[in-house]
Amino acid sequence: MSDSNENLAREKKILSEVNQKPLLSRWGTFAKLSGPGWLQGAITLGGGSLAGSLYLGVIGGYELLWLQPLMMIFGVLMLSVIGYVTLSTGEKPFVAINKHINPVLGWGWLVAAMLANLVWAMPQFSLGTAALQQNFGILNGNGGEYWCALFLFCVGSVVVWSYDSGSKGVKIFETILKLMVAIVVLSFFGVVVAMAGDLDWGAIFSGFIPNFSLLSEPASKFTSIISESSNQEYWREVILDSQRDRMVTAAATAVGINMTFLLPYSMLRKGWGKEHRGLATFDLSIGLFLPFFLATTCVVIASASQFHGKYDEGLLDSSKATALTKKLEGAYNKNITAFKAKNGEGAEPNKVDREIAAMLVSRDSFQLAGSLKNLTGSKVLTQTIFGIGVLGMAISTIIILMLINGFVTTEMLGAEIGGMKHKIGSILPGITGALGFLFLWSNADAKFWLAVPTSVFGMVLLPIAYITFFLMINSKSLMGDAIPTGNKRIVLNISMLVALIAATIGAGWSIWSKVQWIGIVAVGIFIALAVVVHFTKSKNT
């Protein structure tokens, strides 16, 4: 028996014994054996989460602190379900879905995960390049973006291929990811600690209470400002549309469809089985939920304290303009132009209209770091702290996107994990990410904005996975004796339905606000195809 098999057998024996002990007694052992949950944490703490958190703070202030943790709870629930199914059956999920549920859902899940990998890699390269050039001030010369992209691609490829070198490589890989996640969290946590004395902690704690009225009403600080504008209804709709988009973006980046593909295959790669089901839930809690909660909460708090209901005075008074102002002028002018177009070219915005237009411009981590320099007394220090966190986010997400795509490729082609097809599949997101960033997205007004449309794309695809998992956990032919029963099954199904409804509402809003009837027709065709295949399969059976 190989060393890896002996270690796995020893691990299963330890878990079989510890699973009989009280909950608190298990946690110490679980903490030592955790792994796949940290991979989830590494991918979710990427450009989408950072952009979503920044924009939530700008548009909603502390009032939207509840949104991302709530959506992550739903995400952890659904990931726990697919983890439970995988560890109970030992089957690869793609094969299990095609065999027991519906091939259309299986292939839809796989293709959606691959597309998400290839598309989401682009904003990560943009994010990493922005951190290197803006926060660290390096590689800014001619061709600097090419060198940044090459650096990010090489780092991602080396780390991912180490994962394929066997059990030792997996251990090294997971250790690297844990360190990266820790760096990201500590960087943003350190910023909030520096701000602690200037924060309204009462408002912050109140912000964790869910407030669904924000789907239909602007945040309270904007309500009073709008009343002094020349066109209250216009600004109300503009702010509300932006607020909804930011909420969808934040919800989408909590758990992406490609994350649902990563978890079961990373568990199978480690040889986990039924004995690991309790560990899997714990792993998601400390490796995914806790780092995500801490990092995104800190970014929202920092962004809200600096930007919500505030504006750069240089946008309204050129004598007060700074280097940071220059990066905001384009977005500000677009807001003013849109106001004039709506109200007629002859309608001049008043001072409050211009203030609101300035408040609504999107900021990135460079602006946030710059606005915080007074807290530390050093611009270099704040840019470095933020740069470390942002660069860690970008690199860790690129690595995980490449890792997921390797699993997706092997399932699509029926290839072996660790083989050449797997390795080629792994580097594809690195190629599309680098080339897409350099030639498709590099002229965007704000590189951070790349994460927003990509996240909306992911939100549209997420219900595919959730519906599939709901059907899998309730499939007797798949689960056998491991299928949940009694009150546990009732509670689980109700919870999954709530998560599914939330994801579907977000997807519906994304479809209608971005592509409207084209998206509705495409979704309808997909559902119709799934229904036809279901009844055809049932008849043949």
Asked if residue 453 has pLDDT above 60, the reply is: no
In whole numbers, what is the pLDDT of the chain averaged over residues? 81
pLDDT digits (tens, 9 = 90+) for 465-505: 888 888 889 988 888 888 988 898 999 999 999 888 888 88
Of 301, 73, 53, 271, which Cα lies nearest the Cα of 200? 301
- What pLDDT score was predicted for residue 444? 47
Most confident of 417-426, 487-496, 517-526: 487-496
Could you read off the pLDDT of 350-394 as tens digits, one per residue?
888 999 999 988 776 666 766 665 555 556 666 777 778 788 888
- pLDDT tens digits, one per residue of 270-320: 888 888 888 888 888 888 888 889 888 988 998 898 888 888 888 888 888
CATH number at residue 62: 1.20.1740
In angstroms, the CA 336 to CA 342 distance is: 10
Domain assignment of residue 27, yes or no: no
Number of structural domains the chain divides into:
1
Handedness of CA 386, 391, 259, 256 (dihedral sign): positive
Report yes or no on 354 lying in a domain.
no
Q: Pick the most confident of 248-252, 508-512, 523-527.
A: 523-527
350 falls within a domain: no
Q: Is residue 16 part of a domain?
A: no
Of 458 and 73, the structure prediction assigns the larger pLDDT to 73
pLDDT 10s digits, 112-144: 888 888 888 888 898 888 888 877 878 787 888
Helices 329-343 and 351-359: crossing angle, nearest 10°?
A: 130
Residue 24 has pLDDT above 90, yes or no: no
Domain that holds residue 423: 38-311+361-540
pTM of the entire predicted model: 0.80
Closest CA to 506 of 237, 239, 247: 247
Any domain includes 418: yes
pLDDT in tens, 54-72: 888 888 999 999 998 988 8
Q: Domain for residue 521, yes or no?
A: yes
Specify if 22 maps to a domain: no
Tell me what pLDDT residue 373 has. Answer: 59
Is residue 342 included in any domain, yes or no? no
Which tokens in the block code for residue 261? 């593909």
H-run or E-run covering 264: helix 257-269
Q: How many Cα atoms sit within 13 Å of 43 on the Cβ side?
A: 27
